[in-house]
Chain A
Amino acid sequence: MSATLQIPVQVQGLESPKHKGAFERLSSLTFPTYRDEVWRRTDPENVKPEGQAVVAPKSSFGMLKGEAVPAGVTLEAIEKGQEFIFSVAPVAKTNLFDALNGSVYQGGAFLKVGKDVSTGEQALFVHHHFEGKGMAAPRSYLEVGAGSSVTLVEYFTSDDPEMLAIPSVEVDVKAGAKFRYVFVNLWNNTARVVPTVHAKVEKDAHFEMLFAGFGTKLTKAFFESDLIGEGAKSELLGIVLGQGRQHYDMDAQQNHRVGKTVSDVLCHVALTDRARSVFAGNILCEPGAQQIDGYQQNRNLLLSDKARADSMPRLEIEANDVRCTHGASFATYDRDQKFYLQARGLTAYEAEHLLVTGFFAAVVERMDHEAVGEWLAEKLEAKMQAALGKTK
Chain B
Amino acid sequence: MSETPLLVIKNLHASVDGKPILRGLDLTVNRGEIHALMGPNGSGKSTLSNVICGHPNYEVTEGEIHFMGQNITEMEPDERAKLGIFLAFQYPTSIPGVTLANFLLASVKAIRGADNVKLLPFRKELVAQMQELGINQDFAKRYVNEGFSGGEKKRCEILQMAMLKPALAILDETDSGLDIDALRIVSEGVNRLTTPEMGVLVITHYQRLLNHIKPHKVHVLVHGRIVQSGGPEIALQLEENGYDELLKAHGLEPAGV
Contact = CB atoms under 8 A, between A and B. Distances in A.
Interface of A: 268, 299, 333, 335-337, 339-348, 350-351, 354-355, 357-363, 365
SS class, residues of chain A in contact with chain B: helix
B81 interface: yes
Contacts of B143: 358, 362
Given A344-B81, A345-B78, A355 B95 contact: yes
Given A354-B103, A362-B143, A344 B95 contact: no
B106 A354 contact: yes
Contacts of B53: 339, 343
Given A350-B106, A360-B97, A343 B87 contact: yes
Contacts of B81: 342-345
B147 interface: no
B95 A346 contact: no
Contacts of A363: 97
A361 B53 CA distance: 29
Interface of B: 53-57, 76-78, 80-82, 86-87, 89, 92-93, 95-99, 102-103, 106-107, 110-111, 143, 160, 164
B96 A358 contact: yes
11 contacts: A268-B96, A333-B93, A337-B93, A339-B56, A339-B77, A340-B93, A342-B54, A345-B82, A346-B107, A348-B76, A359-B97
Nearest to A364: B97
Contacts of B98: 354-355, 357-358, 361
A350 B89 contact: no
A336 B82 contact: no
Given A340-B92, A354-B106, A362-B143, A348 B78 contact: yes
Contacts of A357: 97-98
Interface centre among A341, A355, A359 (most CB of B within 10 A): A341
Contacts of A362: 96-97, 143
Contacts of A347: 76, 78, 110
Given A339-B55, A343-B78, A358-B98, 16 more contacts: A340-B92, A341-B106, A342-B78, A343-B77, A343-B87, A344-B110, A344-B160, A345-B81, A345-B82, A345-B107, A345-B111, A345-B164, A346-B106, A358-B99, A360-B97, A362-B97
B167 to A, nearest CB: 13
Interface centre among A299, A336, A357, A360 (most CB of B within 10 A): A336
Contacts of A346: 78, 106-107, 110
